[in-house]
Chains A and B, each alone.
Chain A
């Protein structure tokens, strides 16, 4: 299996060659044919969404060889979350073949369908419901049953597919293997939207904890990450980034590196500077030695007052997610009005491995081995960057270090492509830690102000949200290479912010993709109420301003920041009316599935029903106070339910917070792989703890100062981790939802609420560093 997982990059097989070698049937399948299949002129750039355009042709997804081996093609890739194994399970289950007879080819623009981007917890919903890979497998299985019906002269009702063959029910001797049925041919069928998925009650492979097929190779150092791709004649590149934000190139003194051993070329394109050498160490030394003159940078706003600065911007792009029109009236008439402001920092992806890519650009052909989440979009933007046509570019996905969103994978793919084009030979680029951390697309800072009106009984009658965040660049998509630093340096503009005020009235149905709307609101727009709560008077107004730093999706983008504000504020409201935080949440939630995860997490945690803060806490003698907090979310408004209880201890003299226990309940529809889902939930919690307690991009003057693991310190393996307990609410007959980003979304709020429960101190700025906690403790009245 491992050899299939890590096909030798040097071979750079075309689909045709691959299929030949793997014993499956040959499918003539050039990139041009693909474009025609998709109804696109070759090279045309369509405005595909996050999930690409897929393919209506069964042969684009599934090939079955005469030997019965199945090759499946997917446009959703393994990012470390277990998706590769889960997709193998899906194919094995839905096609009724043993899992070891399935080969899965992921994300290669010359072989796999365009499924856009693997992100936003969209892979599970996209490939595990009634479209794409799942539908292809169901279509293929039904096609086999029909072929067998003809072959055996038996009506399809009397046939069943199992173990890679179709057999007569009750007479297993009358059986035809798939390989015989198809005889090494293509299906020549379209995906059948009516093809029936196997009911979850019949699953034997999907829904079980199949171990990750890539772990044996990974644990023994055999797995081919993008960092391990080696191509004959490959050189090594190193980039030279500007020293400060806004600095532009004045001149490069090539003489400063003349005669350095192994140096092949100094490459300059607009503000992009890099060197290419025979060996990585030579490239690194040359990059260090190269004399480059830059203009001064642009002074950055003072970090200490950054959120106020953000709050005071006037050139904003405004959006109303929901507006019932009566919020001001309701607040004016409310028995009580509460208000609070929450602040979230810029944070970074901070992958363990810096980004790396290999590019081979020679004339009008380019191949890039990349850990991008988006092979098809990258194909287009790399073509733009290189002045080629998209069909002249091939992107081959190779897994990188876990990315958690747009880390440096696209950035470094451009770096490698630019350097390779300049020397006409394959070039590998691996970023330095400082270059990666100084210039990556950070998750943006937020400041969020909220008000609620309460009736005399303490029930919320109006909720007003106003939030400010920042944006610059982002995912390059199909046409914006300037959205990441290397593309911008090479002369392409990043997507900025087009001011728009006032915001247009919301139309259509609620789109809560960024979780701007609190769970407790009805989300009523134009007669439909797609929110999960009961509060009818609701206004959610967001402002986006231009960011001084590149920004981009970081695990639970915007959802985490918004949920931190909503769920912390909800806790404040419950405390103000002396209600139990769980009971108070349930009082305002109407979505039964969200209510159920809240109840399930509370039950598992042994939640003691009482208002926060805990009485007589802060045992002065031990100097440590303990408390518990809850937070919940329906991720993206429709993509995974989660509730989490955190139990913390707060050191009252140092302000240090330790999370002791964390209990999470999740409902993401049918669970494809329970252990894999748990692994994601646990990882999300640790990631969430790291971000809630420690992580903050820092800067000073005109440059970023969090540039290594000392200045940007996530949770290391020696740091204390809580006991984690997970509850999976399995809903076999519901739609599949995202599972990878739910717990990370609620962790900060649950911890903040637990700190309040323990101490009575509310920390409204994340991360909850000892200094901030101490300040909040001192501010208690």
Chain B
């Protein structure tokens, strides 16, 4: 066991765990976060995706010790039910899921891509999601929701969330 400091969704945490524990287990069991999910533990499905330094990362496949001190964002770090992030809002507006178990993988992967490549083509979006699984088959609605969000971004629709993100961090830090 060792003491590891983590910054998750702008909030500092100290956990005392086996340093080889997969990040996902620490997030969902020690910190009781509900965004990242266990799908395979093998890096094959995306359900556990979080954003680390702007990259979509599969938290089931990295040991917690390797991310000590790095800012980690989970699905709940983007927005709340009352105030969803625009990409989350786009999924809600488009009713773009069914059971929703896959949603962390879909939203976090798409968000990381569009943050990096705002003008990503549909082919690039599909490429980024090539190893994300939605077994309910909400595929079409999900791609549409991502594109709607992308168009809003491109049109410069002001995102209330970006401004509020700072406030959120202060509140929870």
Contact = CB atoms under 8 A, between A and B. Distances in A.
A282 interface: yes
Given A80-B99, A81-B98, A679-B98, A716 B92 contact: no
Interface residues of B, number: 65
Interface stretch (B14-22, B152-160, B162-170): B14-22
A690 B134 contact: no
A682 B140 contact: yes
B39 A353 contact: yes
Interface stretch (A21-29, A209-217, A557-565): A209-217
B54 interface: no
Interface string A674-698: 0110011011111100100000000
Contacts of B44: 433, 708-710
Given A279-B21, A351-B101, A224 B84 contact: no
Interface in A400-436: 400-402, 404, 430, 432-433
A281 B136 contact: no
A346 interface: no
A218 B80 contact: no
A714 B45 CA distance: 11
A404 B135 contact: yes
Nearest to A710: B44
B129 A220 contact: no
Nearest to A678: B95
B137 A715 contact: yes
B130 A708 contact: no
A641 to B, nearest CB: 20
Interface string B127-156: 111111111111111110000000000000
Interface string A332-370: 000000000000000000111110100000000000000
A302 B81 CA distance: 52
Contacts of B22: 281
Interface stretch (A225-233, A539-547, A625-633): A225-233
Interface in B45-94: 45, 47, 74-76, 78-82, 84-85, 88, 91-92
A255 interface: no
B95 A215 contact: yes
A352 B98 CA distance: 12
Contacts of A716: 129-133
A716 B134 CA distance: 7
A724 B38 contact: no
B106 interface: yes
A523 interface: no
A354 B93 CA distance: 28
- Looking at A279, A685, A717, the one whose CB has the most chain B CB atoms below 10 A away is A717
Given A220-B79, A717-B132, A400 B21 contact: no
A680 B128 CA distance: 25
B47 A353 contact: yes
Given A686-B139, A718-B129, A402 B101 contact: yes
Contact of B95 (A211, A227, A352, A709): A211
Given A352-B133, A432-B41, A400 B101 contact: yes
A153 interface: no
Given A682-B141, A686-B137, A225 B34 contact: yes
B131 A718 contact: yes
Contacts of B142: 717
A215 B100 contact: yes
Given A279-B17, A433-B41, A717-B129, A219 B97 contact: yes
A219 B99 contact: no
Given A212-B95, A709-B45, A220 B76 contact: yes
The bracket for how many chain A residues form the interface is: 35 or more
B6 interface: no
A351 B135 contact: yes
B133 A219 contact: no
Interface in A76-117: 79-82
Given A219-B88, A223-B34, A683-B138, A80 B81 contact: no
B38 A402 contact: no
A261 B19 CA distance: 13
Interface in A49-82: 79-82
A686 B88 CA distance: 23
A2 interface: yes
B94 to A, nearest CB: 10
A401 B141 CA distance: 18
B137 A683 contact: yes
A62 to B, nearest CB: 27
A138 B92 CA distance: 32
Given A219-B88, A219-B92, A402-B99, A227 B37 contact: yes
A214 B137 contact: no
B165 to A, nearest CB: 14
Contacts of B81: 2, 216-217, 220, 222
B65 to A, nearest CB: 12
A236 B21 CA distance: 14
A718 B29 CA distance: 30
A714 B132 CA distance: 11
Interface in A658-678: 675-676
Nearest to B101: A401
20 contacts: A80-B101, A81-B98, A220-B84, A221-B33, A225-B101, A228-B32, A228-B34, A236-B29, A261-B18, A282-B18, A350-B135, A351-B101, A353-B39, A399-B99, A404-B135, A708-B40, A709-B45, A709-B133, A716-B131, A719-B139
Interface of A: 2, 79-82, 211-212, 214-225, 227-228, 230, 236, 261, 279-282, 350-354, 356, 399-402, 404, 430, 432-433, 675-676, 679-680, 682-687, 690, 708-710, 714-719, 721, 724
The 4 lowest CB-CB distance pairs between A and B, nearest first, are A80-B99, A221-B35, A686-B137, A718-B130
Given A354-B39, A721-B139, 18 more contacts: A80-B101, A82-B98, A219-B75, A222-B80, A225-B101, A228-B28, A350-B135, A352-B45, A352-B134, A353-B39, A684-B137, A685-B137, A708-B42, A715-B137, A716-B132, A717-B130, A717-B132, A721-B140
